[in-house]
């Protein structure tokens, strides 16, 4: 059985995620402490570890209070240790990691920031991608380049199709509007947005298969011709889409 997954809405549009199993509970990213502590108390769960994807405040601001209240250890990228909260375990992409009795794949996903990592739990089928691959979109290129982000998305796109992509924000409205503007004939996209609106629910998490069908940043092959870039490499098509989204 997969680990139990709880999606927590934090701040205005952030997500944090709790994973729970027989060996305890871990948190992926900590935008703020209060919603996490409330949920832990309601479920009578402790917190053993916090896994951090990147250094931005809207993903780490709750760490200090959560550590004080729960004693959880903090795990994050060694390359970004100088700008993350104090780390108990420094990790490197590609090295082995285990959490809650499951192996965890640490994936290097620079672009949004240069030290961004994603966490893939292959046994449970979850990938915590934060601000790299997002629901119907991808993160802005604050520190990295378009080529970096395209390589990062390509690594994530190589995961199994049924992997549940757990991203860091609810940007469904803006991402969906942009996706429709560049891919208006995509019925799967229209169906996804209609279902989200009808259910009045966020559009994350979602399977990688659904992202492949509806996320313009994973559909560069289909959008190459509409953009007039028939002979352009994938990375250039992605860069055009990212610049269009920035100006949208």
Pick out the residues of the known binding site for Zn(2+). Answer: 54, 56, 58-59, 112, 131, 169
Sheet holding 117-121, edge to edge: 97-99, 102-108, 117-121, 126-130, 164-167, 206-207
Contacts 24+ apart (CB under 8 A), 114-118: 114/79, 114/143, 114/144, 114/148, 115/54, 115/55, 115/77, 115/79, 115/80, 115/83, 116/53, 116/54, 116/77, 116/152, 117/53, 117/54, 117/76, 117/77, 117/91, 117/93, 118/53, 118/156
Asked if 77 contacts 102 with a C-beta cutoff of 8 angstroms, the reply is no
**Calpha distance 111→191 (Å, rounded):** 29
Binding residues: 54, 56, 58-59, 112, 131, 169
Q: Specify the length of the chain in residues.
A: 248
- d(Cα 183, Cα 20) in Å, to the nearest integer? 38
Cα 139 to Cα 127: distance, rounded to the nearest angstrom = 16
**DSSP string computed for 87-142:** PSEEE-TTS-EEETTEEEEEEE--SSSTT-EEEEETTTTEEEEETSEETTEE---S
């Amino acid at each position: 059985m997969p680990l139990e997954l709880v999606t927590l809405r934090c701040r205005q549009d952030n997500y944090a995620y709790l994973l729970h199993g027989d060996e305890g509970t871990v948190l992926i990213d900590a935008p703020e402490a209060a919603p996490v502590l409330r949920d832990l108390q309601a479920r009578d769960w402790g917190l053993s570890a916090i896994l951090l994807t990147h250094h931005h405040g809207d993903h780490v601001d709750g760490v200090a209070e959560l550590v004080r209240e729960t004693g959880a250890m903090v795990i994050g990228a060694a390359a970004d240790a100088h700008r993350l909260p104090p780390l108990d375990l420094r990790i490197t992409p590609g090295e082995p990691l285990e959490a809650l009795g499951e192996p965890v794949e640490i994936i290097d996903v620079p672009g949004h920031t240069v030290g961004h990592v994603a966490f893939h739990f292959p046994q449970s089928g979850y990938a915590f991608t934060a601000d790299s691959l997002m629901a119907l979109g991808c993160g802005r290129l604050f520190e990295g380049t378009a080529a970096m982000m395209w390589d990062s998305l390509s690594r994530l796109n190589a995961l199994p199709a049924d992997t549940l992509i757990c991203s860091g924000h609810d940007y469904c409205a803006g991402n969906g509007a942009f996706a429709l503007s560049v891919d208006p004939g995509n019925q799967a996209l229209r169906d996804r947005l209609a279902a989200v609106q009808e259910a009045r629910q966020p559009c994350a998490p979602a399977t990688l298969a659904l992202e492949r069908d509806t996320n313009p940043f994973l559909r560069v092959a289909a959008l190459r011709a509409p953009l007039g870039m028939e002979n352009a490499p994938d990375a250039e098509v992605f860069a055009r889409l990212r610049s269009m989204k920035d100006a949208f």
